Structure 1
């Protein structure tokens, strides 16, 4: 199972997202700390979930990080994210 599939499974189980997009940005970090041959180390997550309602940006990031904790440090080195409620996502569309 790829790292993207593992991230997807953990996030779906923990946060029931309405929208989940995971982008592997590892190629942009080739040669940097934490990069490995074959990639799957640096990711960006776009996630829209009702679970983020009433939560600050930091709280949302903590929720995502908690959900994917089993993958952090190995194999995931870096994780960037955009975490929105459905209402916020609709306004930004």
Structure 2
């Protein structure tokens, strides 16, 4: 069996995950950014489009979130991502914090 017949490891970054990471890096210059693809946990559930990139969790720590409410932080991230949430991404959990917050 040659290596081309094996599926890519789940740790590989897909195009949607890479786009999320790139947009958030450029927009917020975060000191911490973690984009976790949770799609495997939702296989066969509502919103699973079969791409393996339908559900994500974003953890981001950036100065832009200082003095901003939790709701507005989520809105900021969603605005930055444009049509990704709701179009190409079924579910996006956002954990946005300012530096120094627990």
TM-score, L = length of structure 1: 0.88
Deviation at 1:38, TM superposition (A): 3.2
Report the Cα distance in structure 1 between the residues aligned to 2:94 and 2:86, rounded to whole angstroms. 16
CA RMSD of aligned residues (A): 1.2
* Match in the other structure for 1:24: 37
Superposition map of 1:74-89 within 5 A: 74-88=87-101
Deviation at 1:12, TM superposition (A): 1.2
Deviation at 1:74, TM superposition (A): 2.9
Matched, 1:34 2:47: yes
1:54 to 57, 61, 67: 67
Deviations 1:66-91 (A, max 9, x none): 01123122321110011111110xxx
Report the Cα distance in structure 2 between the residues aligned to 1:59 and 1:71, rounded to whole angstroms. 18
Report the Cα distance in structure 1 between the residues aligned to 2:57 and 2:84, rounded to whole angstroms. 14
TM-score, L = length of structure 2: 0.81
* Unaligned ranges ≥5, structure 1: none
1:11 to 5, 9, 24: 24
Deviations 1:4-49 (A, max 9, x none): 1100111112111110000000011111221122310100001000
State how many pairs are aligned. Answer: 89
Secondary structure, in 3 states, of the residue corresponding to 1:67?
A: helix
Secondary structure, in 3 states, of the residue corresponding to 2:89?
A: coil
